[in-house]
Amino acid sequence: MAPSISGTTFAPHEGKPFAGNALGHPRGKASKGKIDGLAQLFRPGANSIARIALVALILSPLGLVLVILLQHTGYVTGQGRFVEQTVPFSHKHHAGELGIDCRFCHFGVETGARATVPTTEVCMTCHSQIWTNAAMLAPVRASFASGRPLVWSRVNRLPDYVYFDHHVHVNNGVPCAACHSDLRAMPLTAQARPMTMQWCLDCHRDPERRLVPQDRITLSRPYDEPIPQGDLARIHAHVLALQRTRRLTDCSTCHR
């Protein structure tokens, strides 16, 4: 290395001795003027700026972490989101206080993929008798009279390439509350779960913990009281039997 070192020690500045701080700021007044043109090239603060810049550069990837974390918040997933409806329907009142069974309106839930949002006729079965001229029900009556359908806003939205099937879940021990939580406590319906693929997979990877005896399907809090041993055994056997013929995490389970 000898030649290169000897060559380089003074090579860069054509042999002039040089004394300056990190960014070429002259050290002390004494040396001022000795070095032509360098005097005001950088202010003393420049050093710290440079250092901060370097540190920032190194730390910048951490910004991504924030973006990633954001994905999991309700802000992105919509969890906890309320949606304005044309008719401010209250599950709390109908299902909770009046104790109407879920399946009275969502009659498709045990027989088809869709739980079915009730037709205007279903609403009118009662509301042709009671609250017949309540202002808040005007849209319902209008729909019934005109034959134009009521337009509700979707609360629990899965992407269109996700094929969810209610009756498979409901008939296999997945309670309504697993995805919708306790609707009987909701005056206005909100999205109770993140509805992300991750959240679906939690259950599909290990369904057993989420299943309840069939008689608890429509309960508000199906998980609260412990499940009796016999039922646990039955659920266990059911899951085992299922997993002998299926892989619930196959993409085709939900995507086509």
Pick from 70, 83, 23: which is nearest to 49 by CA?
23
Kindly indicate which of the ranges 69-77, 91-99, 214-222, 225-233 contains the residues binding another protein, using the contact rule CB under 8 A.
69-77
Per-residue burial over 125-164, b = 16 or more CB atoms within 10 Å of its CB, e = otherwise: eebeeeeeeeeebebbbebbeeeeebeeeebbeeeeeeee
User: Is there binding between residue 56 and another protein (CB under 8 A)?
Assistant: no
Task: Name, in order, each residue with C-beta under 8 angstroms of 247's C-beta and a sequence gap of 6 or more.
Answer: 253
Please pick, from the candidates 30, 57, 59, 68, the single residue that binds another protein as defined by CB under 8 A: 68
- CB of 226: closest distance to another protein in angstroms? 26
- CB of 146: closest distance to another protein in angstroms? 8
Please pick, from the candidates 29, 61, 130, 161, the single residue that binds another protein as defined by CB under 8 A: 161
Please pick, from the candidates 48, 172, 215, 231, the single residue that binds another protein as defined by CB under 8 A: 172
Output 224 or 242, the one with its CB closest to another protein. Answer: 242
- Per-residue contact string for residues 5-44; x = within reach of another protein by CB under 8 A: xxxxxxxxxx---x-xxxxx------------xx--xx--
- Binding to another protein, residues 71-100 (CB under 8 A): 71-72, 76-78, 83
Pick from 126, 116, 124: which is nearest to 144 by CA?
124
- Binding to another protein, residues 123-152 (CB under 8 A): 143-144, 146-152
Output 38 or 232, the one with its CB closest to another protein. Answer: 38
Distances (CA, A) of 252 to 99, 206, 255: 37, 18, 5
90 CA to centre of own chain:
24
Output 152 or 220, the one with its CB closest to another protein. Answer: 152
- Binding to another protein, residues 180-209 (CB under 8 A): 194, 196-199, 201
Please pick, from the candidates 87, 122, 188, 232, the single residue that binds another protein as defined by CB under 8 A: 122
Q: How many CA atoms does the CB half-sphere of 69 hold within 13 Å?
A: 5
Output 171 or 220, the one with its CB closest to another protein. Answer: 171
Name beta bridge partners: 26.
20
